[in-house]
């Protein structure tokens, strides 16, 4: 086993419920092995800045020594006690060198980084410069292809379902429709799964073809058969794609078109960052705990540049570069040369993995359409 004096743990990028549970698991698992833990405040930014504590502003310092008690009673809370930031300077060599100097100053021999793909790129760069890192997927978007679920996704979906259920109540009273745009960046998982769970009459995601007309027809047919309340869920990625094509306010304007086409009064709602807050669900606490434990085990075993994933219920680890390229493959964003580092066998394995994942998504979308539909009576 490699010798570790201290390890660092940080949360980076968009926060996600369950990040605290992950910090707790990492801290307790490391302490159990006699390794001390530094919580790094504000992600990679804190690692670069290494600022001292300031009792006047209550700033705790960029590096906080975490003992077992420091992470007590945080498993049940949203947000991240370590705070988060999107550290732009960390992408520069200068920023990277500052981070490495901080690690050297504090005898930090390895880092566990919780976040999304940007966080993993940072972890790779640090590992390449001699600080071994392990990544943990913490994002509500569930857009890390290599893992079936990311930490925060389940909570975000439950929050979304509970919000839309409330909208449903008032829609039912007033015979209205609500068009709801939900976060997820370019991935449609939050929209699709919550859309199914709230019984949406229409779901729009970038991954599958959708038709406004079909949604209007569905609502018209359902209204004829007595249905009073309607919900349509749109992934924010659809809006981003429209913006790229020069179309602004797509979701708001869709709500107006829906009202005109169906005669159903329609409201628009964007819960936005509300989905990022709140106490984590059991599923997220469990995932965070299992993944945090595994990350420490791998790091202390001398492994690095891995991202811990959940695949078919098992906690596994995947090479970070493999995971990042798999992501690009799944999202049809491969760049020339991306696959050069992989053998023909690995490439075939990646393609097969993406095909299965896409098939599962398509099947789920198909289910949503069939059970959300009111065929003509």
Query: Which residues are identified as catalytic?
Result: 141
Q: Between 150 and 201, whose beta carbon lies closer to ligand F6P?
A: 150
Residue 192: C-alpha distances to residues 132, 141, 150, 266, 304 (Å):
36, 12, 16, 20, 34
Helix or strand (DSSP H, E) at 101: helix 93-105
Q: Between 30 and 179, whose beta carbon lies closer to ligand F6P?
A: 179
**Nearest Cα to Cα of residue 202 among 238, 240, 230:** 230
Q: Between 63 and 123, whose beta carbon lies closer to ligand F6P?
A: 123
Q: Least distance from C-beta 75 to ligand F6P, angstroms? A: 22
Q: Least distance from C-beta 305 to ligand F6P, angstroms? A: 22
Which residues contact ligand F6P (rule: CB under 6 A)? Answer: 14, 116, 139-141, 183-185, 236, 276
Q: Between 108 and 191, whose beta carbon lies closer to ligand F6P?
A: 191
Q: Give residue for tokens 């107006």.
A: 256
Q: Between 150 and 289, whose beta carbon lies closer to ligand F6P?
A: 150
Q: Give residue for tokens 């390895």.
A: 110
What is the longest distance spanned by two Cα atoms in the chain? 73
State the burial class of residue 56 (Cβ atoms within 10 Å of its Cβ: 0-12, 13-18, 19+): exposed
Q: Least distance from C-beta 3 to ligand F6P, angstroms? A: 36
Put the strands of the sheet holding 230-235 in their side by side order. 202-204, 230-235, 176-182, 265-269
Helix or strand (DSSP H, E) at 100: helix 93-105
Q: Least distance from C-beta 240 to ligand F6P, angstroms? A: 8
Residue 228: C-alpha distances to residues 169, 171, 178, 219, 253 (Å):
11, 7, 12, 10, 22
Q: Between 21 and 298, whose beta carbon lies closer to ligand F6P?
A: 21
Q: How far apart are CA 322 and CA 123, in angstroms?
A: 14
Q: Contact, 194 vs 164, CB < 8 A?
A: yes
Q: Least distance from C-beta 139 to ligand F6P, angstroms? A: 5
Q: Least distance from C-beta 141 to ligand F6P, angstroms? A: 5
């Amino acid at each position: 086993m490699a010798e570790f004096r201290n390890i660092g743990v940080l949360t980076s990028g968009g926060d996600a419920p369950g990040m605290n549970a992950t910090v707790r698991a990492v801290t307790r698992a490391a302490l159990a092995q006699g390794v001390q833990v530094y919580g790094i405040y504000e992600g990679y930014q804190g690692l670069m800045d290494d600022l001292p504590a300031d009792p006047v502003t209550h700033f705790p310092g960029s590096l906080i020594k975490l003992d077992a008690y420091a992470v007590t009673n945080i498993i049940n809370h949203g947000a991240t006690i370590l705070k988060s930031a999107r550290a732009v300077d960390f992408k520069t060599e200068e920023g990277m060198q500052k981070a490495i100097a901080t690690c050297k100053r504090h005898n930090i021999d390895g880092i566990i980084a919780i976040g999304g793909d940007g966080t993993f790129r940072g972890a790779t760069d640090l590992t390449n410069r001699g600080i071994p890192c392990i990544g943990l997927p913490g994002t509500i978007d569930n857009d890390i292809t290599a893992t079936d679920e990311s930490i925060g996704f389940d909570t975000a979906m439950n929050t979304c379902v509970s919000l839309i259920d409330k909208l449903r109540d008032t829609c039912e009273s007033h015979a209205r429709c609500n068009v709801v745009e939900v976060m997820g960046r370019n991935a449609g998982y939050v929209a699709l799964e919550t859309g199914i769970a709230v019984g949406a009459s229409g779901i729009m995601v970038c991954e599958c073809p959708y038709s406004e007309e079909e949604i209007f027809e569905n609502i018209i047919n359902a209204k004829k058969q007595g249905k009073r309340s309607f919900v349509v869920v749109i992934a924010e990625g659809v809006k981003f794609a429209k913006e790229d094509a020069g179309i602004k306010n797509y979701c708001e304007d869709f709500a107006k078109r829906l009202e005109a086409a169906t005669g159903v009064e329609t409201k628009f709602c964007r819960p936005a960052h509300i989905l990022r807050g709140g106490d984590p669900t059991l599923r997220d606490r469990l995932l965070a705990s299992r993944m945090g434990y595994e990350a420490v085990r791998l790091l202390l075993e001398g492994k690095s540049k891995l991202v811990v994933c959940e695949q078919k219920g098992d906690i596994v680890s995947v090479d970070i570069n493999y995971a990042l390229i798999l992501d690009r493959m799944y999202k049809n964003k491969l760049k020339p040369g991306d696959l050069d580092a992989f053998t023909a066998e690995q490439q075939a394995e990646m393609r097969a993995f993406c095909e299965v994942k896409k098939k599962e998504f398509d099947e789920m979308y198909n289910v949503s359409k069939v059970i959300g539909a009111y065929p003509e009576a």
